[in-house]
Amino acid sequence: MIDPQTVGISSNQFIYRISIPEPANHLLHVELAIANWQHDFIDLKLPVWTPGSYLVREYAKHLQNFEATDADGEKLSWQKISKNHWRVNNGNSSQIKISYRVFCNELTVRTNHIDNTHAFFTGAAVFMYVPEQQKQSFQVEIHVPQENWQIATALPNIANRSNVFHAKDFDTLVDSPFEIGIQEQHDFTVLGKPHRFIIWGQHNADVQRIVQDTATIIAVEAEIFGGLPYDRYEFILHAGNGFGGLEHKDSTVLLYNRLGFRKEESYLQFMNLVAHEFFHTWNVKRIRPKALETFDYDHENYTGSLWFSEGTTSYYDQIFPLRAGLYDAKHYLKLVSKGITRLQTTFGRNVQSLYESSFDTWIKLYRPDANTHNNQISYYLKGELVSMLLDLIIRDQTNNLRSLDRVMQIMWERFGKDEIGFSETELHEVIEKVAGIDLTDFWNNYLYGTKEIDYNYYLDPFGLELRSARQDVPFTGLTLKSKNGLAEVEKVEFSSPAQKAGLSTGDSVLAIAGIRVTADSFNERLKDFAIGDAIALTIFQQDLLKTVEIVLQEPVYTHFELVQIANTSPVQETNLKLWLNI
């Protein structure tokens, strides 16, 4: 609870009133009351992106019915300056009311969704701000359409004011999503602090198991940093269709398949998601790159350090459930093997560096196209693997006296506690200091360059090696999917036989050597031919029937697996046990 006298609510300059009079039409009604305004006009903007999701999402496209009135209800003139910028001419009026509606029918962790059972909204996609006034406090009043709708948000409730909440500044308002509606609420305590799971949607989850495992993960993560940096925390889970998570300082939003909790492997994947988003409580929400120290809600905020903010978090989201005992080392190594396989079968690893992937996320990662596989890699994926290598380097160089945990602790002490943005140089210096060695070559090869990762060099001190297996069919460079009964080309690898033959994404493959094939039978049919054979491929391309010749090449490596080396030394066995908590 917040004492209204303490925060000066009675004289609050910005008061939002949110209502959902007709949930079925997906419209969120927003009113913003502005008091004591001393200028002839007022500028209002809606953010174009939300922190944690690095894409300009153009939230303003969902805004409609914009109006402005004075204290007497008289309409004020206004004009739109740019896509997300409105200017109201208020003349002598110091009391202004802005009203608009937001269409909310996109169920993701970074957008808004309203139906007859709930209303979920992300602050950046709903709340306008006044430039130069972002440090002001905000009051949010929620008017629920039905008595059985509950409100969940990380914002503190104002004492003696039902459904009224306080945000100390605009960053806090943006960082505190609302889940309003018919929901489950499950309270639990970890390290003396209250936590809550809020669940919307039908599901097949064992909620008590989720709560218990989440509590264990929270304790394991907090152990690195010596405690929890918040007063209370909320997990908002949308049980629907899809997958995703978005971190906030004192809460997180999770989206998971409503029927995806029963199978053990799928359940453990959900716990990886929980571990990932919760680790952001420190890494990115408080320990963040200099470019994200102060948010610019109008434009892209460029940084080359997302490999650390997201990739290192991805490394830990698999380590923490291991430390918590949710699965064993065998399962962990299986996850790492899958990650290596994904990277090593992505041609873009030869084109885009990890640094470039971090920097260019605004125009590439969230906007895949026909050439994505050939010119991009994910900073989540490669960042996860590079972070693993750094952990192994530190452990090997210090005889297990230090690990990547120590890097996180120093970053927390130097930058996170006071929320001071770190530079790339400062991050590298911390890592090298903990490792005790110069990592210039490592950065040049694996961060700024595209050199193939020498996994076995770093794995050998831990008694592990990476083994690879080739595909059992000749290589064409085609990835197919079934669409409308046809084998549609989903990917064409760069410089592959298929690309040289002129195939493109969206083409349909009909036959090999005159015999019909499907997406499922294509590879089986290739086994009838030998490497070097020139085969006739019948295709539809731009609705034209064509036959092209494709020359089959040597099978490529498509599967990678981490295995323990035979006859490991005592040192290797000790290193492995200490790394994987065996």
pLDDT at 440 over 90: yes
For the stretch 178-209, pLDDT in tens is 999 999 999 999 999 999 999 999 999 999 99
For the stretch 59-76, pLDDT in tens is 999 999 999 999 899 999
If residue 242 lies in a helix (H) or strand (E), which one and from where to where? none
pTM for the model: 0.95
d(CA 323, CA 327): 8
Domain 183-263: which CATH class? alpha beta
Domain 4-180: which CATH class? mainly beta
For the stretch 553-582, pLDDT in tens is 999 999 999 999 999 999 999 999 999 988
% of the chain surpassing 70 pLDDT: 98
The answer to whether 183-263 and 282-463+565-582 have equal CATH topology is: no
Q: Is the CATH number 2.30.42.10 carried by domain 478-555?
A: yes
pLDDT at 9 over 60: no
For the stretch 205-221, pLDDT in tens is 999 999 999 999 999 99
d(CA 213, CA 235): 13
pLDDT of 8 reads 44
For the stretch 97-154, pLDDT in tens is 999 999 999 999 999 999 999 999 999 999 999 999 999 999 999 999 999 999 999 9
| Range scoring the smallest mean pLDDT among 91-95, 224-228, 417-421 | 91-95
The CATH number, out of the four listed (1.10.10.10, 1.10.390.10, 2.70.240.10, 3.40.50.1220), of the domain defined by the range 282-463+565-582: 1.10.390.10
**What is the maximum span of the chain, computed from C-alpha positions, in angstroms?**
85
Q: Which residues contact 563 (CB under 8 A, 6 or more apart)?
A: 464, 465, 467
pLDDT of 3 reads 60
Per-residue pLDDT, averaged over 301-312, amounts to 98
User: How big is the CA angle at 178 (ends 175 and 183), to the nearest 5 degrees?
Assistant: 140
Where exactly are the structural domains of the chain?
A: 4-180, 183-263, 282-463+565-582, 478-555
Instruction: From residue 276, give the alpha-carbon distance in Å to each of 174, 321, 556.
Output: 21, 10, 33
pLDDT of 486 reads 95
User: How big is the CA angle at 177 (ends 173 and 183), to the nearest 5 degrees?
Assistant: 145
Identify the band that residue 91 occupies on the pLDDT scale cut at 50, 70 and 90. Answer: confident
User: How big is the CA angle at 470 (ends 467 and 474), to the nearest 5 degrees?
Assistant: 170
For the stretch 369-403, pLDDT in tens is 999 999 999 999 999 999 999 999 999 999 999 99
d(CA 519, CA 479): 9
For the stretch 497-545, pLDDT in tens is 999 999 999 999 999 999 999 999 999 999 999 999 999 999 999 999 9
Identify the band that residue 10 occupies on the pLDDT scale cut at 50, 70 and 90. Answer: very low
